[in-house]
Structure 1
Amino acid sequence: MMDYTQGKNKLENWIVSEMEFSPDSLGKCEAIMSLGNGYMGLRSITEEPYINETRNMFVSGTFNKAFENEATELPNLADITRMDIRVDGERFSLELGKINSYMRQLNLKTAELTRSFDWVSPLGKELRFVFKRFVSLHDLHLIGMKMEVECLTAPVEFSFESGIDAQRDNSGSQHFLEGDRRIFDRQFIQLVQTTNESEIDVVINTAHKITVNGQPIEYEPKMKMNRRKVWQSYEFKLQPNDKLEVEKLTTLYTSRDKEVDNGSYSLAELREQSLQALKKSVKEGYDLLFNAHQKEWDEKVWNVYNFEIGSEDGFDQLAMRFSLYHLTCMTPAHDDRMGIAAKGLSGEGYKGHSFWDTELFILPFFIYSNPEIARSLLIYRYRGLVGARKKAMENGYEGAMYPWEMAWPSDGEVTPEWGDIDIVTGTQTKIWPGFIEQHISADIAFAVYQYDNVTNDPEFLKDYGYEIVFDTARFWASRLEWNDEKKEYHINGVIGPDEYKEHIDNNAFTNYMAYFNMKLAIRYYEKLEKENPELLEKLKGLLQLERAFADWNLKVEAIYLPAPRKEDLVIAQDDTYLHLKEIDLSKYKNQDRVRTIYDDYNSEQINAIQVSKQADTLILLYLLEQTFLHDDPRIAGNVKRANFRYYEPKTLHDSSLSLTTHAIVASDIGDRDLAYSLFKKSTEIDLGPKMNTSDMGIHAASIGGIWKTAVFGFAGIRLADRTLKVNPALPDHWTHLKFAIQWQGQTVTFSITPSNLSVTVSGGKTLAFENGGNLYTCEESIDIPIAAASSASH
């Protein structure tokens, strides 16, 4: 049972709590309470083992292919969290005996996991347990754990075994070769793992520091070693009121770490370096290390992303903090060779791969809140050009055709080929997105455009951005198919964002985004002609730009762009969608779990029904209004409203990406109740009462969407081709909203109430922005009555 009301006073709306232990519902808390620092992620598994547990620890970028016929994935590293505990010789488990006062909590502010309970053994002896854990944001290579055991009634024989267990896998696939294992000075345990294909070394060190009643004890544990495993065994006799405290500190380093991934790399040096780092940490101890970690969270996260929501329901504030917490945990801000996984670092789902989720649902947070990290994530895509060019060439196209799923930048396409069962035929279904879901190339170009407009970082464009946009435009120009009958270019045989429609022609999102991508390339080419001809000459030689520029100009205006229908302004999602049969979707709209439509239909049958998995045409309208196309009547406000009314009833939101877009658009068209309802549903994907929604890991894009809905929906922040627009529309029960963004090199703080918009600028430059159709300038601060313009459409 989840509870979000346990935080009191200064910790109000900071605490995520589990109030009852359930061995059948372990996955939810393992995932939503997961710990991480962007370098590594640790699933919040219990120390004692259970049958349905999933012990996961991942390090960003350490991709490996276990076997030739499998997809590359982040390998599950050795487990350092498990402790095999015995009380009076019997295995300790919460499935035995009696539990009192159980609570497991994630403190979002301090990024510490705690678990506490009183336990009565089958023999009637009572013990009090407290477990604590953190993954350091101060030292990216450090994990801290602490176990406190207090004897409350009768003497007990208490023992535990703990160490490093590399007998782990990824759902059955083993990624590591057998590695060296050793215990130094009967205290410091070291285990080496090496991936079997990518040959990445992983060095893990761990040590225990033990006190009884506050006094260090001199104790030589039994040392044990087995295949892929090394550990120590401790035994104690505890008297009533005795308190045993065990600190377990771990360091983790890999040969993929940026500072050692070079020609002079030495495994022996990495082993020694990591061991010395552990010894230093053991001297400092859990509390000092945790204090440094907590300070880092304050300075790098909470003092930077200070986001206040005044709501009648405190859960809204907690959900926003949950979003900011996981955006920090999942993002490899330390290394521009790495991207964000669809499940962050909290589970094996989607194998650690990056999707369009990053550019459209997560990156906006960093663009507006921490441009340095946004830049790093876009450089990851720049480094991925090598894989994108490889994919284009393999498919007979030019330029850069980005992988639908991306791992290490040079890997190219890594989407698995086969997926779930076909309920009609009983066979595996083919995963088509890796072959024909191609809009991601334009999505990445849009992200470059958005970053450029919001941050005004010309060096990024010069070093990375132009090349991404030009090469993706080259891909689209080669991808277009001429229809001689209609004298226009089509894009046939694709999947759009709505993955319930496969092998469709002229998906509106794909066609319009390809059009935008090519128009952007033309604009950038002409900009370089005027401002930096030397760079243009360099890129001409690299990318055959003179021919490409002529090709873009020849083709771009001949791309078929489905226009709003005259009778109702609806844009056809693709050539056939509006002609498909309609069925009663209420059963699936009101479902308790996603994808229940697959209980009744297979993919081919769903393809023939007017039903959408997620936002498609709507996200197109939302994106293009931020660009130089914002005045195009085909994407006007009345078109957005008409398409929302048409497509929302047909959208099942079977993707966690969908609710965010629908919430923002609902807010845009003035339907505040629906906008808030959709926002609430998006927060409950991970935080809701259902205990099996997050078993494979948190939903990274949806978590980014919590911030997006609040900022772009309720606060009404919107980019419009280098212009900042602000048109707030708070939910009825929100009393205020306060946050800051970064806009073209300066910090802008917004404080919004139902009746007032307050804007404060720091950075010494005048801010120009639009509200309700009026242009305002602000040098320090300005207040604007919202009633004057709050009804204006974005």
Structure 2
Amino acid sequence: MKTVLDYSQAAEGILAEASFDRNYFGKIESIFCQGNGYLGIRNVTEEQYWGESREMYVSGTFDRASGDTVPELPNAADVLEMKLILNGCIFTLQEGNILAYRRTLNLNTGECVRKVRWRSPAGDTLALEFRRIVSLNRLHVIAQQISIAAEERAVSVCIETGVNGRITNGGEQHFSRNAKRVREGRFLEYIQVTGESEIPFFFHTAISLFLNGESFFVPCSARRERRRLFARYNTEVPAGKTLRIEKISTVHTGLDAEFAGLSWEQQAQAAFVCCREANELGYRQLADDSARAWEKTVWKRGAVQIESKDPFDALALKFAQYHLHVMTPAHDERMNITAKGLSSDAYRGHTFWDTEIFILPYYTFTHPDMARRLVRYRCLSLESACGNARRNGWKGAQFPWEAAGPNDGETSSEWGGPDLFTGEFYRMPYGQTEIHITADVVYGLRQYVAETGDEAIMEDGGYELVFQTAIFWVSRLQCGPDGLLHLYGVVGPDEYKNDVDDNAFTNYMAHWNIRWAVECCDKLQIEHSSLYRALDKRLDLARARGIWDAALRKMYLPQPDEDGIIPQTADYRSLKSIDLSAYKFRERVGSITDDYTWEELHGMQVSKQADTLLLFTLLGDYFSKEQKIANWHYYEPRTLHDSSLSLCTHSILASDVGDLPLAYTMFRHAAEIDLGPNMSSSDEGIHAASIGGIWQCAVLGFGGVRIRGGMLQITPALPNSWEKLSFFLWWHGCRIHVSAAHDRLVLENISGTKSVLVQVQDRIYTLDETLSIPLCNLN
């Protein structure tokens, strides 16, 4: 398989593109994506090419392109574009000769460097170096540095750059107004406003020039065009000299918390001052400060280290953690993580269950302050979730399958595109049927509280969220002919099974949700009577608790059959069974649809992704190890992994049932979804949930980290190719360093503020400072 990716610097945490190939723009733009949670940019080049996707997104800035569309993140103006005309030749790698090429992304620092040696059509040999950062400590700053070295003769240089607002979301234009001006003779200011949500975006940018390190001034010739503001600079590079161009840009929006209460003019002034201050620091200082922020914020707090025979494994973990911080809006609890991070507009920038089930565990264990903001986003969305339930005919709170802003409600499209042949639109009822999201949200809250001990968040909306969701579930349950309560007409995680009855995952998660509501109700009444009385007055908790008790007794939970198998749906085991070996682990997911229609798939024992098996990683206490093993051997051959969410779950469960070789194989497959040699896998953006799952494979799977009965458990089992695995965990305010080898586990209580109870295999230990525990092979 042809690939331009180079892993030779994997041990250094550096991802490289070894050659220039326009066929692979999408992959490189996505996996080299840069950002800081406030904004994210696809890694396009400064020069423009056909087939590229020049995209930048700012968290939380949702807008409707028209009245019949759903909110989406608008693709903001482009500040990266730079046209270079060298001795009359426009710099482009499609002309002239590429003598040398390499682009690297340093995952440790977030800096991208592209080095090109190029012979122009005019015969000039030039060495060009492009550097770029999106600052982690100055969230609004994008900094670029371009160096041009003239090797043989003097080169005239014309630079044209600025802000290009001619950017759309696949043709949809979100910005209806713009304003342009030049400040202080050198700062370009471009303001655009979203059409429906009326959010102002403020862009400022400035150019500085240096010849062999010495600063010099060149007057700019600014020009305004429709939706574009740019400037030209003309200079010359003598033979043997190097011209350095620094472009410092800032991006702000009217949603920024620090802009609250300010007029647009005051916001524009504050944004301008930010750009001027960043410009005074210069590229190198900005890059160094950002690198220090990466080290302090990310790597010192939560780095995972692997001693492996293959350095790709450590690179995969570094890659996952890098992108987790690029995509997560740690600055604002009004925003959440999108299904593609900030690397594309796929899924319109919406939030799914991906956050709670696949990404939140990383933050609760490594950055609990950031995890709290992600959980608070759901608390802020509670009123909207209650409105969503009412619209669908239910009570309580039904969280949207797709979410945008906290108050936007359900943002999934009810109708898909027209059939290619009939022209008829098809209905997509996921917002009404994929209801397991409601229990998933509660599960995320429960895990956060269990791991951090943060009871304050329960009083600040958490208790009501639990109660309102339990009210939803009992209103959604229907009494069947057997006298039990069922969930009819749902979609579980396996989206190859539409409109099914009694999906095991949904039923068990709903049951767990209601059970926790009962526990919370009892606890609240004893420990916080005033809050209980307030919620009881609004929700009639005394009556609701009785209804919940009755529902728990009568709710149908699929039980293991004579083979020990828990049926995924009411009729799953009676469906047609086929050999799926030809479709598993194919380069192109969904290849089975080449041979079977969706209706046919609905009637087969084939799962798109982990469904029933996911229960065993989330609700492990509900099932015995024997049940896990039996269901593993039944469902794994029937699962195609046609969703990027699936492989990580299977890897973790394979570790649990003792199949370490398969656990490692699936970990590698999960890591290769974005990082592997398939050069079209990430064209539409990185796979956010799978990236969170890569961390889970290492820490929850091979590291054996679990919460059972409110206690931290660590039972590692490393794959044969790993000598050592080490990582950090936060547990109830204590920072713990875990170092696992095949025969020994070393735990260090770094905080040293209090003792921690830890279960390792079958024994409970008290961790005060350091523990060194021999491991026995339980597999």
Alignment of 1:674 with 2:669, yes or no, is: no
Whole-angstrom CA distance in 1 between matches of 2:446 and 2:163: 46
- Residue 464 of structure 2 is matched in structure 1 by 467
Change in 2 beyond 3 A, CA 1:645/1:425: farther
- Residue 548 of structure 2 is matched in structure 1 by 552
Whole-angstrom CA distance in 1 between matches of 2:77 and 2:157: 26
- Residue 685 of structure 1 is matched in structure 2 by 673
Whole-angstrom CA distance in 1 between matches of 2:87 and 2:606: 59
Residue type of the alignment partner of 1:126? T
Alignment of 1:543 with 2:542, yes or no, is: no
Q: Deviations over 1:197-225 (max 9, x none)?
A: 11111111000001122222221122111
1:77-476 → structure 2 map (5 Å cutoff): 77-261=76-260, 264-419=261-416, 427-476=424-473
Alignment of 1:720 with 2:719, yes or no, is: no
- Residue 784 of structure 1 is matched in structure 2 by 773
Residue type of the alignment partner of 1:693? S
1:604-623 → structure 2 map (5 Å cutoff): 604-623=599-618
Shift of 1:531: 1.3
Alignment of 1:522 with 2:518, yes or no, is: yes
Shift of 1:424: 8.4
- SS at the partner of 2:754? coil
- Residue 720 of structure 2 is matched in structure 1 by 732
Alignment of 1:601 with 2:596, yes or no, is: yes
- SS at the partner of 2:302? coil
Note the residue ranges of structure 1 that are not aligned, 5 or more in a row. none
Match of 1:482 among 463, 479, 484: 479
Question: Would the aligned equivalents of 2:453 and 2:732 in 1 still touch at CA under 8 Å?
Answer: yes
Whole-angstrom CA distance in 2 between matches of 1:786 and 1:142: 48
- SS at the partner of 1:179? strand
Question: Would the aligned equivalents of 1:399 and 1:473 in 2 still touch at CA under 8 Å?
Answer: yes
Question: Would the aligned equivalents of 2:89 and 2:121 in 1 still touch at CA under 8 Å?
Answer: no
Q: Deviations over 1:353-375 (max 9, x none)?
A: 11000000000011111111111
- SS at the partner of 1:210? strand
Question: Would the aligned equivalents of 1:4 and 1:13 in 2 still touch at CA under 8 Å?
Answer: no
- SS at the partner of 1:410? coil
Whole-angstrom CA distance in 1 between matches of 2:601 and 2:233: 58
Whole-angstrom CA distance in 2 between matches of 1:200 and 1:209: 30
Question: Would the aligned equivalents of 1:472 and 1:517 in 2 still touch at CA under 8 Å?
Answer: yes
Residue type of the alignment partner of 1:664? I
Whole-angstrom CA distance in 1 between matches of 2:254 and 2:28: 31
Shift of 1:543: 2.3
Match of 1:582 among 547, 569, 577: 577
Question: Would the aligned equivalents of 2:572 and 2:605 in 1 still touch at CA under 8 Å?
Answer: yes
Q: Deviations over 1:336-392 (max 9, x none)?
A: 111001111111111111100000000001111111111110000001112211110
- Residue 763 of structure 1 is matched in structure 2 by 752
Match of 1:503 among 491, 494, 499: 499
Whole-angstrom CA distance in 2 between matches of 1:422 and 1:714: 45
Residue type of the alignment partner of 1:300? T
Question: Would the aligned equivalents of 1:745 and 1:763 in 2 still touch at CA under 8 Å?
Answer: no
Shift of 1:427: 4.9
Change in 2 beyond 3 A, CA 1:618/1:168: same
Shift of 1:4: 4.6
Residue type of the alignment partner of 1:607? H
Question: Would the aligned equivalents of 1:423 and 1:602 in 2 still touch at CA under 8 Å?
Answer: no
Shift of 1:290: 1.4
Change in 2 beyond 3 A, CA 1:769/1:555: same
Change in 2 beyond 3 A, CA 1:690/1:494: same
Shift of 1:686: 0.6
Whole-angstrom CA distance in 2 between matches of 1:572 and 1:613: 15
Shift of 1:281: 1.5
- Residue 50 of structure 1 is matched in structure 2 by 49
Alignment of 1:512 with 2:508, yes or no, is: yes
- Residue 711 of structure 1 is matched in structure 2 by 699
Q: Deviations over 1:70-102 (max 9, x none)?
A: 111111100000112223323321111111221
Match of 1:773 among 759, 762, 770: 762
Whole-angstrom CA distance in 2 between matches of 1:273 and 1:467: 39
- SS at the partner of 2:193? strand
Residue type of the alignment partner of 2:115? S
Change in 2 beyond 3 A, CA 1:764/1:217: closer
Whole-angstrom CA distance in 2 between matches of 1:688 and 1:392: 41
Whole-angstrom CA distance in 2 between matches of 1:770 and 1:185: 64
Question: Would the aligned equivalents of 1:423 and 1:601 in 2 still touch at CA under 8 Å?
Answer: no
Q: Deviations over 1:175-206 (max 9, x none)?
A: 11121101123310001111111111111100
- SS at the partner of 2:146? strand
Residue type of the alignment partner of 2:764? L
Question: Would the aligned equivalents of 2:118 and 2:125 in 1 still touch at CA under 8 Å?
Answer: yes
Shift of 1:107: 0.4
- Residue 566 of structure 2 is matched in structure 1 by 571
Shift of 1:429: 4.2
Shift of 1:288: 1.1
Residue type of the alignment partner of 2:319? F
Shift of 1:59: 0.8
Residue type of the alignment partner of 1:362? I
- SS at the partner of 1:740? strand
Whole-angstrom CA distance in 2 between matches of 1:167 and 1:132: 24
Question: Would the aligned equivalents of 2:89 and 2:120 in 1 still touch at CA under 8 Å?
Answer: no
Shift of 1:583: 2.0
Change in 2 beyond 3 A, CA 1:420/1:612: farther
Whole-angstrom CA distance in 1 between matches of 2:411 and 2:491: 17
TM-score relative to the length of structure 2: 0.98
Change in 2 beyond 3 A, CA 1:185/1:265: closer
Root mean square deviation, CA, Å: 1.5
Question: Would the aligned equivalents of 1:682 and 1:706 in 2 still touch at CA under 8 Å?
Answer: yes
Change in 2 beyond 3 A, CA 1:21/1:419: farther
Residue type of the alignment partner of 2:767? C
Q: Deviations over 1:268-313 (max 9, x none)?
A: 0011111111112211111111111111111111111132111001
Q: Deviations over 1:535-562 (max 9, x none)?
A: 1111112323222212111212211100
Shift of 1:428: 4.7
Alignment of 1:651 with 2:639, yes or no, is: yes
Whole-angstrom CA distance in 2 between matches of 1:509 and 1:336: 29
Shift of 1:578: 1.1
Whole-angstrom CA distance in 2 between matches of 1:753 and 1:410: 47
Whole-angstrom CA distance in 1 between matches of 2:683 and 2:7: 23
- SS at the partner of 1:386? helix
Question: Would the aligned equivalents of 1:423 and 1:598 in 2 still touch at CA under 8 Å?
Answer: no
- SS at the partner of 2:475? helix
Question: Would the aligned equivalents of 1:4 and 1:315 in 2 still touch at CA under 8 Å?
Answer: no
Question: Would the aligned equivalents of 2:484 and 2:556 in 1 still touch at CA under 8 Å?
Answer: yes
Q: Deviations over 1:225-252 (max 9, x none)?
A: 1011100012233332121111000111
Question: Would the aligned equivalents of 1:422 and 1:603 in 2 still touch at CA under 8 Å?
Answer: no
Shift of 1:586: 2.0
